[in-house]
Chains A and B, each alone.
Chain A
Amino acid sequence: MAVPKRKMSRSNTRHRRSQWKASVPKLVKTVENGRVVYSQPHQAKLVTDSAGSPLFYEYKGRKVADA
């Protein structure tokens, strides 16, 4: 197994980690029953009942899969 020869300095570690970046997800905005809802494009959407419990996945008006 490959083993590091030298200790990695705190500076090098922190410089490396400073390059980690989060990316903003692409979302589409729709209005459902007067409420603004954000969802991912080209992906089935989870349909919930009024209490918020999941019912099924829906895409383009078609039931796709169970929750």
Chain B
Amino acid sequence: MPTPTKGPRLGGSPSHEKMMLANLSANLFEHRAITTTLTKAKRLRPYAERLITMAKQGDIAARRRVVGKISANSATNQAIVHELFTVIAPAMAEREGGYTRIVKIGNRKGDNAPMAVIELVMEPVSPKQAVVKEAEQATATPAAQPAQEEATEVESTEVESTEAQTTETDSADTATTESESAPAESTEAEGQK
């Protein structure tokens, strides 16, 4: 559950804030990314993500709750709700929260307000690289264990320690080569730009 917002309402009154969040989220679902002030983007994030969670439930009750939130009286907003349930929610099916991304883009000319782009994360979910590495190590160690059991009991402790070290160094080598290759690619990409 998102933490309750502290401080004054956006726009001066609770009803104004309600309307603002509804309109901002409707525009976010329509355009996939919107530019707004950092404060509004931060307030919008839990609101919009909750609507996406409702859309992922996908039943008629959830749809009515969303319609009630973003005031889908107009044809435009009805189309937005339809798109939320038919396009955005299926795209977010694999994603467990974190449906939006906020990027700061500097201060606005005129009133120097910090601005941000808030966008829907529509890319397919990629597993965390740390988790992938852990899984690879988990698969690598069972293969090494039978070889350790074949060794004699007297030398078993020493052999295990040495073999464990070798496997660790092997995995470390592969990890370093992978990590070295990735930054090189990124620098090349930056150089091309």
Q: Do the beta carbons of B117 and A64 come within 8 Å of each other?
A: yes
A61-B186, A65-B35, A65-B117 known; A44-B104 Cβ under 8 A: yes
List residues of B whose CB falls within 8 A of some A CB.
33, 35, 103-106, 117, 186, 189-191, 193
Contact of A57 among B105, B186, B189, B190 (CB under 8 A): B105
Can you list 30 pairs linking A and B with CB atoms under 8 Å apart?
A32-B190, A33-B191, A40-B106, A42-B104, A43-B104, A43-B105, A43-B106, A44-B103, A44-B104, A44-B105, A44-B106, A44-B117, A46-B106, A47-B193, A57-B103, A57-B105, A57-B117, A58-B193, A59-B103, A61-B186, A61-B189, A61-B190, A64-B103, A64-B105, A64-B117, A65-B33, A65-B35, A65-B103, A65-B105, A65-B117
Give chain A's interface secondary structure class: strand
A contact residues, total (Cβ < 8 Å): 14
Least distance between B18 CB and chain A CB atoms (Å): 27
A32 CB contacts on chain B under 8 angstroms: 190
Residue on A with the closest CB to B115? A65
Interface residues of A in 25-62 (CB under 8 A from B): 32-33, 40, 42-44, 46-47, 57-59, 61
